[in-house]
Structures are given as C-alpha cells and as structure tokens.
C-alpha cells in the first residue's frame, strides 16, 4: 500500500452555529495500490482514502451498502488494524464506479500504526525489487564484487585499529605513522584491486547496456560504504559541479595528498590518486609543459608565442611554467573553459604565482563552451593549441568537428595537440564502475583513423604510463 497525503478530508471540524468560522479539514491519506481493505458482510472493499475520523471505500454499486455498520475489520497489508463502527456520510461517482465515504464512530484510527506498517512494507517491497534485480547480475560479476567487499571490510577493520595501543605523543609522530601506513596499504590495495577491476570489466564486455547498468548499480550499492570514503572517489561519483573531472577533481589528482576522515579512507584515497590513471594525468601536465617549452624554443619571431588551452581546468602545466620561470615578453597564454569556477580558480592560482615570481606573461581567460567554438570559432589564431582532457568525452563526429575547427585557428607552422585516454580494460573498469566516469577510449589506430584527413604531418605521443595519448598535428 502506497499512501499519499491529500489536502481534503473525509471529516470536518468547525464551530457549530458560527458560519463565519473557517472549517479545519483533516488531511486524508490516499491509498495507491489496494493494500488497505475493509470487510463488510463477508466481502472485501478497497479503501480509497482515510483520515483519523473517516474513510472512503470503492464500490461498483453504492445501493449494496447500508448506512451503518458495526465491528467492521480494517486490514492494512494483511494486518488487522481495528474493528470499526461506520456511519455513511456521502457517495461520489468516480471513474469505473463509486466512492462511498463513512465517518468512523468512537476512537480515531491508529494512524501511527498504519504509517509504520506502510513504511515497513515499503522496505519489504524495495528489498524484493533489489533482490530480483540483483539476480540478473552475472554470477561471476557478483562473486567478484562480494570478494572485493569482504577484502575491503577486513582491511578497514584492521587499518582503523592500528592506532590503538600506539605510543604516539606528537603530531609529527602521528603524521609519520599515518603517512607510512597509507603508503604501504595503498600499494597492497593496488595489488588486490587492479586485477579484480580488470576481471569485472571483462565480465561485462559483451553485456547489453541495460544489464551493464544493473551490474554497475549492484557494484556501487554493495561497496558505497567503502569506496566513497575517499574524497576523490566520492567527488567523482557525486559530481557537485555537474560533470566528472572538474577542476577540484584534478587538484585531488595533482596534489596526491592524504585525505579522508579515517585512516582507511586515507589509504583508499591514496590508492586512487596513485592509480596509473591518476599518474597519467600528472604525467599529462609534465608532457604539456615540455611541449610548450619546445615550441617556445623554436619560436623565432619577435611577436610573443600565442598559446591556447581548451578546457583548461586548473591549468597546472601553466602554473609549473610560471614557477620555473619564463620570459614574459616571449609568450602570451589564453585559457578557455566552459566552467567559470574553473577559470576563476586558475586565475587565482596563476595570479598568486605571478606575484611571487614577479611579472609573469599575459594570461587571458575565455569563458566559452566547445559548442560555441565549433559553431562560431575563435576570435584569433594561435601558434600552439592543446586540449588535454576534453576529446575523450566526444563521439567521433563531434571530436572531428572540434579538431577541424581548432586546427583552422592554428597559425602556419603551429601545432594542435589533442589528448585522449587509451583503451585499457582494467583502467576503464575503475573509472566506470567506481566513479561513474565514462570516457570514449581510443587507441593510436583510432586516433589516426579519426583525424587522418586533417594534416599530413602528424604523430601520436604518449606519457610514461601509456594511458594518455596525444595526437599532434603540425600545420
């Protein structure tokens, strides 16, 4: 029985003989699925709605009912609630029959008991639905999830008990102890979980989208109390800015610090930020910084080198360049992102760094979506355009359109660099299962096929983990 409170009611309260006094109507509870019935003269009738002092039942022919009844049993989800004395007050024609309203004589209905039964049976129904859904999850997948769950729960219990009995008398000792534990345990988690995520991804490789979705939900339901103790995984799954990979997510990865409310949470966070995917993202910043240095070294004109970062996020590579020192007269940097908060964060970081090192190069901030770029283009050309973490969200047609538009704004002799995550079952499994972070993974062959007509002078680079690929087009 599913109940819904309605503003109207079966019974009214008011001041007798005082027509100017507004009546107070008790809320009535509408019954949705027939789980509430009364038994009259050996027949069961569904209750349409009820309040503390009245109820309405559904009938085909209201002439079959009398005006008064005594000792009428009321059942909710098969449980006897009370035996009622009823007095008929009105009939209403409804679609498919009639509703007959009765006043309850004597004690009011036990609404608290009825609500408790309703809520308890809601739990039972939801549990039954979940069990039926989980039965559709492949046995191998389910067994692997339970194995991860058992292992992580055991590790959690052991790790969170490590501080007990330890004679740590200073904050320095506590920090050293916890850092060492997170180093060791996160490495153990990697050895434990990496092959399991690869197996999970393989299990679902040929699954239909609907079946895969149910399996993902099963994974997260079983493990949410464990894996989301890491601030990184919790933010990735929750997506507070509405999309995965926001600038704060990138900062978690770039900083690779210990985070978490418990020691186990910190260990898990370290596992995630040390995962090869995360290391590849850090390597990506190093790669881009090196590319900018290389292009700058080859730039021979007196005009400043014009650089554009598309979907810049926190622009770590630019922060690194500024900290290392760069001739402000030789470079001009433009940062484009659809997220205004990302641009504001990048501006704060870069201005702060610029003040520390003295006068830095000119940096311009462009608040624009890639759709706007594809449709309307950019306001100028650049010597070097790069996009590190955007194109693996694009389907092939959109990726090609965006690449062609950006390349049209590359000056002769300049370069366009497009980053893309490489296909890998284990790495892909972690992103999709734990984080609900879905990318379009592409191999080197995929990239060459996709962008082959955009230029003849092309190459595919990769960072040390070989997880981030970079398609480079020289114009």
Domain count, the chain: 3
Domain of 76, in residue numbers: 3-131
26/119 same-domain check: yes
Closest CA to 104 of 89, 117, 114, 94: 89
The alpha carbon torsion through 98, 103, 104, 109 (nearest 10 deg) reads 70
322/467 same-domain check: yes
Per-residue pLDDT of the chain (475 residues; tens, 9 = 90+): 555 545 443 444 333 344 444 444 567 899 987 789 999 999 999 999 999 999 999 999 999 899 999 999 999 999 999 999 999 999 999 888 999 999 999 999 999 999 999 999 999 999 998 888 888 899 999 999 999 999 999 999 999 999 887 888 899 998 999 999 999 999 999 999 988 988 998 888 888 888 889 999 999 999 999 999 999 999 999 999 999 899 999 999 999 998 999 999 999 999 999 999 999 999 999 999 999 999 999 998 889 999 999 999 999 999 999 999 888 889 999 999 999 999 999 999 999 988 887 778 999 999 999 999 999 999 999 999 999 999 999 999 999 999 999 999 999 999 999 999 997 756 677 888 989 999 999 999 999 999 999 988 999 999 999 999 999 999 9
| Cβ neighbours of 140 (radius 10 Å) | 13
Q: Is the dihedral of CA 201, 202, 208, 211 positive or negative?
A: negative
Q: Which of 274, 289, 307 is the last residue of a domain?
A: 274
92/200 same-domain check: no
166/258 same-domain check: yes
460/334 same-domain check: yes
For residue 77, what are its two tokens? 């989800």
Q: Which of 274, 308, 330 is the last residue of a domain?
A: 274
- 280 in a domain, yes or no? no
| Cβ neighbours of 340 (radius 10 Å) | 10
Residues 66 and 91: beta-carbon distance below 8 Å:
no
- 406 in a domain, yes or no? yes
Q: Which is it for strands 3-6 and 362-367: parallel, antiparallel or unpaired?
A: unpaired
375/423 same-domain check: yes
Q: Is the dihedral of CA 205, 211, 214, 218 positive or negative?
A: negative
The alpha carbon torsion through 343, 346, 352, 353 (nearest 10 deg) reads -140
312/430 same-domain check: yes
Looking up residue 422, the CATH number of its domain turns out to be 3.40.50.150
- 33 in a domain, yes or no? yes
Residues 305 and 299: beta-carbon distance below 8 Å:
yes
With a threshold of 0.85, does the pTM exceed it? no
Counting other chains too, the contacts that 122-125 makes at CB distance below 8 Å and 24 or more residues apart are 122/2
Q: Considering all CA atoms of the chain, what is the largest pairwise distance in Å, rounded to the nearest integer? A: 101
| Cβ neighbours of 465 (radius 10 Å) | 19
Residues 223 and 196: beta-carbon distance below 8 Å:
no
Looking up residue 84, the CATH number of its domain turns out to be 2.40.10.430
- 284 in a domain, yes or no? no
As a whole number of angstroms, the distance between CA 216 and CA 213 comes to 5
Place of tokens 């790069």: 386
């Amino acid at each position: 029985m599913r109940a819904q409170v309605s503003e109207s009611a079966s019974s009214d309260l008011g001041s007798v003989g005082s027509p100017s006094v507004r009546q107070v109507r008790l809320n009535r509870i509408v019954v949705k699925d027939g789980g509430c019935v009364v038994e009259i003269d050996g027949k069961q009738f569904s209750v349409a709605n009820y309040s503390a002092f009245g109820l309405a039942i559904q009938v085909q022919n209201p002439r079959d009912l009398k005006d008064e009844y005594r000792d009428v049993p009321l059942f909710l989800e098969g449980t006897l609630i009370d035996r009622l004395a009823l007095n008929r007050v009105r009939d209403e024609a409804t679609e498919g029959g009639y509703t007959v309203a009765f006043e309850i004589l004597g004690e009011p209905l036990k609404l608290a008991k009825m609500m408790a039964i309703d809520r308890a049976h809601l739990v039972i129904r939801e549990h039954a639905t979940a069990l039926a859904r989980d039965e559709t999850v492949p046995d191998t997948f389910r067994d692997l999830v339970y194995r991860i769950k058992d292992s992580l729960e055991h590790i959690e219990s052991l790790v969170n008990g490590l501080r007990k009995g330890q004679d740590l008398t200073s904050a320095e000792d506590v920090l050293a102890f916890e850092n060492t534990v997170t180093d060791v345990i996160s490495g153990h988690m990697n050895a434990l979980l990496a092959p399991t995520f690869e197996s999970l991804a393989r299990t679902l490789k040929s699954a239909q989208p609907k079946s895969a979705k149910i399996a993902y939900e099963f994974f997260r339901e079983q493990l949410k109390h464990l894996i989301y103790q890491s601030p990184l995984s919790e933010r990735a799954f929750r997506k507070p800015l509405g999309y995965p990979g926001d600038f704060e997510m990138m900062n978690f990865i770039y900083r690779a610090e210990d985070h978490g409310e418990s020691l186990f949470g910190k260990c898990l966070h370290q596992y995630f930020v040390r995962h090869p995917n995360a290391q590849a993202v850090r390597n990506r910043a190093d790669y881009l910084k090196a590319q900018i240095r290389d292009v700058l070294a080859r730039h021979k004109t007196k005009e400043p080198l014009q650089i554009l970062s598309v979907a810049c996020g926190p622009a770590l590579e630019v922060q690194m360049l500024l900290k290392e020192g760069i001739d402000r007269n030789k470079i001009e940097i433009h940062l484009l992102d659809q997220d205004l908060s990302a641009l504001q964060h990048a501006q704060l970081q870069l201005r702060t760094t610029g003040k520390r090192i003295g006068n830095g190069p000119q940096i311009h901030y462009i608040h624009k979506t890639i759709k706007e770029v594809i449709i309307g283009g950019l306001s100028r050309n650049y010597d070097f355009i790069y996009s590190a973490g955007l194109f693996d969200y694009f389907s092939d047609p959109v990726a090609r359109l965006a690449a062609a538009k950006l390349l049209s704004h590359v000056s002769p002799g300049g370069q366009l660099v497009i980053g893309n995550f490489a296909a890998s079952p284990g790495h892909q499994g972690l992103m999709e299962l734990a984080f609900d972070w879905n990318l379009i993974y592409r191999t080197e062959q995929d990239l060459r096929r996709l962008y082959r007509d955009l230029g003849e002078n092309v190459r595919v680079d990769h960072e040390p983990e070989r997880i981030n690929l970079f398609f480079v087009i020289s114009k």
